[in-house]
Every structure is written in C-alpha cells, then in structure tokens.
Amino acid sequence: MANGPRIVFARGPSDDSMSEQPATEAETVVETASVDRSASRAVPPPASSGPSVASGSRTVATMATSVVMRSEELERARAFYRLTAIMTAVAAAFMPFVPGPRGLRGLAMALCCVAIVANVVAIRRLRDETRYTPRYVAFMGALLGVVGELVLFYLGLFTAAAMILPLGVYFFGLSESRMAARVMFGTGSICYAILTVGVAAGLLPDLGPMPIGALPVAWKWFFVVMVQVVFATTYFLARSSRRATEAAIARVERANREIFQKEALLAEARGELERALRPGEGRYTDQVVDGWRLGELLGRGGMGEVYRASRVDRPDDLGAIKLLHPIILGDPAHVKRFEREAELARKVDSPYVARVVGTGTGPGGVPYVAMELLVGKDLAWHLRKKQRLKLSAVVELVHHGAKALAAIRAAGIVHRDLKPQNLVLEEGRGERAWKVLDFGVSRLEASGHTLTQGALVGTPAYMAPEQARLQNVDHRADVYSLAAVAYRALTGKPLFAGPDVASVIYQLVHDMPSAPSAFARVPDDVELALAIGLAKSPEERFQRAEELAAAFSSAAAGRLDEALRARARKLLAEHAWSTPREGDAAT
C-alpha cells in the first residue's frame, strides 16, 4: 500500500490531539492555559546584551549567547574579587616589614584597605546580579586600577608586584561592557605611564627593591615602553577572546536550532509513518454500521479508529467511518467533542472541504461519523517527497485553501488548525482539488463557544499569534494559518522550530520568520504578500482568505498592487524578517 495511492481520510481531534511530542508540525496541541501563558511571556534578555531572540533581526548575539556570557562573567567576577581581596590583604600584611618612608607606607596600607573593602563590597553586590551593572564594573576597574598603581609606586613599579596589573586588564577586558574594559585599560595604562615615565626621567623616586636608576637610559625607556605594550596586548587579547567565545556559542546555538528544525520535520515524518503502518484489520472490520460495511482499518488514534467502508446495497459507494474508541465513552467531554466535529463539518458546503455524510451509533453504542472518502495524499506527504512545491502549485494550494476557508467562514466557523496534515490533494475522480479536513478544534465564530476554552489548541507551527496568546480568534487566524502553510510549501521549512512547544510559541508571538528568499527563489512580491498574511496583528493582516489568495496570485505573476507593496514594506520596517541561520541558503 505504501507504493500505491493512499486513502486519506478526515481526521478529528481523536487522532492528533494531546500529543507529547514537543513542538512538531504534525501534532495538534491542546495544552492548559497556564503553561502557554508563561511561554508567551518569556523573560526578555538583559537590555545591555544586544539583540535577543525576540528582536528577530540578528542571530549573532542571541538571547542564549548573552545569558551564557553573562552567567560566566558573574562567576568570574566573584572569583576575581575574592582573589584580589586576598592578594591585597597579603600585601598589606607585609607592609610593616617593607622598608621605606613611613608616610608613604601608611598611605600604601590605607590604599590596600580601600581595595579590600571595595572587593568585599563588590562580592556582596554580586548577590543581587541586577546591581552588577556596566557602570559599576567601570567604576571598579577605575578604582582598582588607580589604587593598585599607587600601592605599586611604594612596592616598586618594576618589581614582580606589577604583574597584578595585566591580570586586572585581562579580567576587565573580558567584560560584557566595552566601557568598563576601556576605562580599566585607559586608567591603568595612563596612570602607570605617568608613574614610570616620572621614575625613568628622575622626577619621581624609585622606591622598590629593584631600582632602575643605575641602568642605562635605553634600558629605562625600554621597560617603560614594554610595559605599555604588555598592557595593550593583554587588553586586545581579552577582547578578542570574548568575541571568539560569543561567536562559538552563537554557532552552537545556530546548530542546535537547525537540529531542532530538522527534528520537527523528522517528527512529522514519524507521525506519518506510524499512520502508514496502522492499516489492516481492526476490531470492527466486516461489521455493518447503519448500512455501511466496514473494511480495512485506515488509521487508529488515541480516541478512535477510521475504517474504509462501502454501502451494503451499493458496494461502489465508498466512504470513511470514524468510530469513537469504546474506552472513551465514559468521558462526556470527549464524546461531545467528537459529536461537535461532525456537527461543524456538516455546516460547511464546499467542494474544497471534506464532506460529512452522516452520524449515528455503531456497535455497542459507539458514536460514529461517516465521511467522504478521499483518494489522494495530504500536503505533508507531498512536502516529504519534494521538500517544497513549485510556485504555481502553491498558488493553486492557496486558491483552493482560501475557497475552503471562505465556506468555513460563511458557516460561522473558525477552523483553528489548518496545517499540511489537514490539506489533502484529491486526484482520484478525474479532478484535482485541495480539501480541508478536521474540525476537531474548530469553534463557532459568532458564539465564541468552544469545548477547549481556557486552553491552547492548534498546531504551534501554524497557529496565529493571537491564538497562541489565548485571545479570541476569528477568520483572520485561519488566514494566518493559510499563509503559514504557503510559507512551508514554498520554503520547505516551518515558520519556527524549537526543542519544545514553549520555545516555538515564544518565537511565534515575538518574531517574524526568516525571509522566504533565504531558502528558495521567491519573487519579491510573493514575500511581500506573505508578510501581510503573517502579520502579528490581525488588523494588519488580510481580512479575508480570498484577499490573500488574490494577492498571492498577483504576486506570483509580479503584479502585486502597489498599495499592498507599500503596506507590506511598512510592516517589514516595523517587524523585519529574521536573519537565517548559518548553513541555510537559497537553492
């Protein structure tokens, strides 16, 4: 059967909902509201860390990169201030035994105490990480630089004690704040230059145990210059190390995101493979239900089974019969949802929507729904086979999908779960038409009533942002989903991918996807049409599916209305396409 035409049937919530697979394209999510609200209110990255995931404009300094670097800097700061306090305390302890002018010795000891107190205060301040700001880092760099060099003036500017200065330059050079790094480097370099030049020129006394006064002039200036070279080298090494670390973390994150995206596609394929392996003989095979003889088991979900069926008196009259699983009968909510799917589907009259031809009760009082049997394959199958569709095929898909959504809107229904698995290309009766399936999570638009109130329903990769925010949705949410399906069919990639539902929803609410032209050769007008269809605000989107279809068709021909072009460019100026990850390229 895998090699021949596959029978594709209308599936309800019993087949796809309540999935435990994270953030796949294939699975309909029915999650509690509390979990998903937290996802849509994910904590933004620190303002000083550069662009975040929510910005959608850059991927080099992403939220994960800044968070990792920030955490590393805080731990490094705690260690540095502790060690600096210890080293300063050791130096202060030796002060009484070091020969030199009493007044300068007392000043040096007092400065050591200042440095110790400053380090202890910094350690205590780090308990509240929000108080460790770039301004404070710059202040500590300047303070420790000045204090350290005045103490070194007493201990000897050219002694081993001077090694602590490059250590400080390197530590502050690794800081997230360029200002702090520059303040420390500038303060230390300038102060040390003034002191060493004064000593080399004989303007200041050389108090250390290794005076350079007796050395030739060339040697004196060699030491002065080389110390500055060491400072500069240390500073640039520290900044280069930080940039390299940020780039490495960003590359790892991009690789992980690419893996997550591929896993989303793989999860979709796994789901379809499971469904392909299900056909065979079922518990109701060969039984008769209200004049329908049940045959081959076409699929089995967590709540029901679907059988190929034929009329007893007219064997050529084929259909698909879905029966609720007997163990679900004890749950009134599931039974009601099953019945509601059939009720809503029967309200829609369109050649682009799979028809429900009857309902009733089967063996043992099990409810059933009799549906049109579609000979063909769903969009998910076509995308696995070809990765992406030609532009002309996507135009046809959007055209048929818009007609289906228009009929659904006319019936007063919001579908809420349009995705590749719910779009079937029927070609078995001498006709070619994309048909919409599955009204399991749909609701009546006018009443706003739904059996899933207070919960997130739909498939994260294709749901509208307002749906993810648990806000009221209308026909415009279905328009967004149709644009998302078109994006997937054109590019071969979902709008967003992530390791779990929460991460996908966060991107859905806050980000624009990557530009379609990053993955495929797409005309500019088509990108502009999709930008309107994928607008975050329902008011900025196409208000009807027919408008999306008309604009998409015109865009594919390079004749998008100039007013729509201006509208799309305005939207993209406010919410630009995200930058694609490394390794993704147009083909």
pLDDT in tens, the chain (587 residues): 333 333 333 333 333 333 333 344 555 544 433 333 333 333 333 333 333 333 333 333 455 677 778 888 899 999 999 999 998 899 888 888 877 788 888 898 999 999 999 999 999 999 988 888 989 988 998 898 888 888 888 887 887 778 888 888 898 888 888 888 888 888 888 988 898 898 888 888 888 777 887 788 888 899 889 989 998 999 999 999 988 988 888 888 778 777 877 777 777 677 666 655 555 677 888 899 989 999 988 877 656 788 999 999 998 889 999 888 777 777 777 788 777 777 888 888 899 998 888 888 887 788 888 988 888 888 999 999 888 999 999 999 999 999 999 999 998 889 888 999 889 998 866 678 999 987 766 666 554 444 445 456 778 889 999 998 888 899 999 999 999 999 999 999 999 988 888 888 989 999 999 999 999 999 999 999 999 999 999 999 999 999 999 999 999 999 999 999 999 999 999 999 988 765 455 44
The per-residue pLDDT for 535 is 96
Asked if 477 and 416 touch (Cβ cutoff 8 Å), the reply is yes
Q: Quick one: which H or E segment has residue 74? A: helix 63-94
Main-chain dihedrals φ then ψ at residue 334, nearest 5 degrees: -70, -40
Residues 449, 541, 40, 582, CA torsion sign: positive
**C-alpha to C-alpha distance for 428 and 315, rounded to whole angstroms:** 17
Q: Write out the catalytic residue numbers.
A: 417
Main-chain dihedrals φ then ψ at residue 377, nearest 5 degrees: -130, 150
Number of other residues whose CB lies within 10 A of the CB of residue 461: 28
**C-alpha to C-alpha distance for 256 and 165, rounded to whole angstroms:** 39
Residue 324 is encoded by which pair of tokens?
Answer: 């609720």
**C-alpha to C-alpha distance for 259 and 267, rounded to whole angstroms:** 12
Residues 252, 77, 93, 163, CA torsion sign: positive
Place of tokens 């995101």: 257
- Contacts by residues 467-472 (CB-CB < 8 Å, ≥ 24 positions apart): 467/416, 468/36, 468/39, 468/40, 468/505, 468/508, 468/509, 469/37, 469/40, 469/509, 470/33, 470/36, 470/37, 470/40, 472/448
Residue 78, C-beta contacts closer than 8 angstroms, at least 6 positions apart: 123, 126
What is the total residue count of the chain? 587
Alpha helices, H only, 411-523: 465-468, 475-491, 501-510
Asked if 497 and 23 touch (Cβ cutoff 8 Å), the reply is yes
- Contacts by residues 246-249 (CB-CB < 8 Å, ≥ 24 positions apart): 246/60, 246/61, 246/65, 246/69, 247/60, 249/64, 249/65, 249/68, 249/69
Main-chain dihedrals φ then ψ at residue 558, nearest 5 degrees: 75, 25
Main-chain dihedrals φ then ψ at residue 352, nearest 5 degrees: -105, 15
**C-alpha to C-alpha distance for 36 and 18, rounded to whole angstroms:** 14
Q: Measured between alpha carbons, how far is residue 516 from residues 89, 262, 302, 385, 422 in Å?
A: 61, 17, 36, 20, 22
The per-residue pLDDT for 44 is 37
Asked if 462 and 419 touch (Cβ cutoff 8 Å), the reply is yes
What domains does the chain contain, in order, with CATH numbers?
7-13+281-371 (3.30.200.20), 63-252 (no CATH), 376-574 (1.10.510.10)
Asked if 452 and 29 touch (Cβ cutoff 8 Å), the reply is no
The per-residue pLDDT for 487 is 97
Main-chain dihedrals φ then ψ at residue 44, nearest 5 degrees: -75, 160
